[in-house]
Amino acid sequence: MKQTPFQTLVSLIEPVFKRPEFIQAAALCLREGRRGREVLLVSSLDTGRWILPKGWPMRNRSLAGAAQQEAWEEAGVIGKAEESPIGFFTYEKKRAGGLPVACRVEVFRIAVADLAKDWPERDRRKRRWMLLDDAARRVKEPDLKTLLLSL
């Protein structure tokens, strides 16, 4: 069957906008609080919304190692990441040029030993322990809400 000119145009342009997912690593820091299980969230740099500490893969580090490093830089977490992810969530990130890209964020549990009083992004972010259901209400990403409520 022959394509129409419009179908040909769509087939040429569509790959520009349908890009592969980018991979990121996130840190899931949990503790047992007085009122139940809590997760540590940080504020995002751009909008101030609540998110898990997360970032791009790092040279010479596993994804778990990248999640552990992001937990330190963004929230002052001193701890150890489990090597296998416990799940993932997806979201669209706006790049510098304004073009959104799909991101798949692998989530790694971090055994928190302590929280530093001073850490690299202390002056740029807030950090807060929240009950899982409260955290699920505050995060924007539907897959992350589901993941938090499953814990």
The answer to whether residue 122 sits within a structural domain is yes
The answer to whether residue 14 sits within a structural domain is no
Residue 14 confidence (pLDDT): 63
Rounded Cα gap, residues 72 and 77, in angstroms: 5
Residue 99 confidence (pLDDT): 82
What is the CATH classification number for the domain harbouring 35?
3.90.79.10
The answer to whether residue 8 sits within a structural domain is no
Q: Which DSSP letter does residue 4 get?
A: P
Which residues form the domain of 59?
19-149
Residue 73 known to be catalytic? yes
Residues of the chain with pLDDT under 70: 1, 9-20
Structure pTM? Answer: 0.84
Residue 93 confidence (pLDDT): 86
Residue 66 confidence (pLDDT): 98
How many CB atoms sit inside 10 A of residue 22's CB?
14
Nearest alpha-carbon partner for 119 in 79, 65, 62, 59: 79
The answer to whether residue 55 sits within a structural domain is yes
The answer to whether residue 4 sits within a structural domain is no
The answer to whether residue 6 sits within a structural domain is no
Beta strand ranges found along 47-126 (DSSP E): 50-51, 54-55, 77-81, 87-94, 100-115
Structural domain tally of the chain? 1
The answer to whether residue 80 sits within a structural domain is yes
Buried b (16+ CB within 10 A) or exposed e, 123-134: eebebebbebeb
The answer to whether residue 7 sits within a structural domain is no
- Choose, from 14, 21, 73, 83, the residue flagged as catalytic: 73
